[in-house]
Chain A
Amino acid sequence: DAKTTQPTSMDCAEGRAANLPCNHSTISGNEYVYWYRQIHSQGPQYIIHGLKNNETNEMASLIITEDRKSSTLILPHATLRDTAVYYCIVRDPTNDYKLSFGAGTTVTVRA
């Protein structure tokens, strides 16, 4: 799996967009970018994934740069319940089912 680099922590105001960056400069052509989050010792929760196109679902949007060396997870209207550790993971889903969690970004949403 390609190594990812995320900021250690970030704060966000409730109701504002939260933009979480992730660098994955050694990503290979078959590897997808996944985002998971973990709310205070609960089981990690899948958020979104993408290969090269931008993706959006009911939880978030994922913006991947054209060279695929970095991406940004966007929580459009952060709420207090979005306070969590967010993990950016890169893997090839067809031959690697293990998720390699790094330290992630601790996001604190403040009222």
Chain B
Amino acid sequence: EAQVTQNPRYLITVTGKKLTVTCSQNMNHEYMSWYRQDPGLGLRQIYYSMNVEVTDKGDVPEGYKVSRKEKRNFPLILESPSPNQTSLYFCASNDLAGSSYNEQFFGPGTRLTVL
């Protein structure tokens, strides 16, 4: 089954404790992206990657890092989480050239709480 998976789905942590949210897709998509969703602000893009070793900032990259060492994986790293990073996070992927290039596939979401 074609899918984007994220782990963990729920995480409660404390300020300053480094964490990583993993994202993996099994569709061989070139493009991957991270969004955060907050009440009243909608979904906002954090980082994106056009292919392996190619990443770039989205609209709200402060406080986040990403890496793209393999095509299928795109982890989101919070080096020193703060309470304002409490949010619902979504990973997404997109085929840039194939028949499904118009459709962006989203993961199930990771609900992060930073105390």
- Report A's interface with B, CB cutoff 8 A: 32, 34, 36, 41-46, 49, 93, 97-99, 101-104
Contact = CB atoms under 8 A, between A and B. Distances in A.
B96 to A, nearest CB: 7
Contact of B101 (A43, A93, A103): A93
Given A41-B88, A44-B90, A97 B96 contact: yes
Contacts of A32: 102
Contacts of B107: 43
A105 B107 CA distance: 21
A101 B33 contact: no
A102 B40 CA distance: 10
Interface in B72-115: 88, 90, 92, 94, 96, 101-109, 111
Prevailing SS type, chain B contact patch:
strand
B102 to A, nearest CB: 5
Contacts, number: 49
Contact of A97 (B42, B48, B88): B48
B61 interface: no
B21 to A, nearest CB: 14
B105 A46 contact: yes
B103 A46 contact: yes
B43 interface: yes
Given A43-B90, A44-B90, A97 B102 contact: no
A103 B43 CA distance: 9
Contacts of B88: 41
A3 to B, nearest CB: 13
Contacts of B48: 97-98
Given A97-B50, A104-B42, 20 more contacts: A41-B88, A42-B109, A43-B90, A43-B92, A43-B109, A44-B92, A46-B102, A46-B103, A46-B104, A46-B105, A49-B102, A49-B103, A93-B101, A97-B31, A97-B94, A97-B96, A97-B104, A98-B58, A99-B45, A101-B42
